[in-house]
Amino acid sequence: MATALRNFIEELDLAIERRREAVTMVIRTVQEVEHTIYLSTCTSMAIPMLYAQWEGCVKECFEMYIEHVSKCGAKQADMHPHMLAFAWSGQFQRLSGKGGVEGRVSFVRRILDGLSNHIIMRSDEKRINTKSNLNFDVFAELCTLLCLRCEHLTDRKRALDALVNRRNSIAHGGRSSPHTVDDVMRDAELVRELMDRVGDLVREAAEHRAYLATSLVCSEEAISQLLS
């Protein structure tokens, strides 16, 4: 295994382990107040904290992956179209503010000239936008752009979306049913499972170089099945 890839995987594993430890701290805090008057408040606070670990994990892992891709030395012409679309997202946005034929021609010329260059992304183009509402559909959309296979996570779509809905209800001051210690434990286990599986799919993509056009990992058939 190449040194760069090995270092990336080690950093990825450490990042996920830190997130798992944070989830464990949430559980311990709830358990410590289980038989006190603070239980209801603590369990309600735990749900957004668990969601924050889920969203934070995805952003951290995906941005680490993007950084790894940007250092791979591949030419833009060799990149998978989906990854290239992500890398050029900033240029697409800048084009939208420039009307006229000259602006469009200049944009196309920069694209064509850049195909022979190595993939380069500015720091602001490496950021992941979760829309602060990382349900399964948003997650799947990000995975599609980054050539990450997440169709095997569809079995957790309902549970993840339910967690996001509970978090939104609490965060926006809506009324919700009281949350028990068992509810927190269930959500914590879900988040830990999802974080591990996110680590697995990112690791697989890096090992198989799914970001390249020659990769078979990010198949059109798999994406069609996911979005159908």
All structural domains of the chain with their residue ranges: 3-72+134-227
- pLDDT, residue 101, reads 74
For 85-108, what is each residue's pLDDT tens digit?
Answer: 888 776 666 666 666 777 777 777
- Positive or negative torsion for Cα 112, 116, 120, 122: negative
- pLDDT, residue 154, reads 96
Least Cα distance to 151 among 197, 208, 187 occurs for: 197
Find the mean pLDDT for residues 65-78. Answer: 87
pTM of the model: 0.85
**Taking a C-beta distance cutoff of 8 angstroms, is the pair 8, 70 a contact?**
no
Q: Is the pLDDT of residue 112 over 90?
A: no
Question: Can you name the residues that pair with 212 across neighbouring β-strands?
Answer: 79
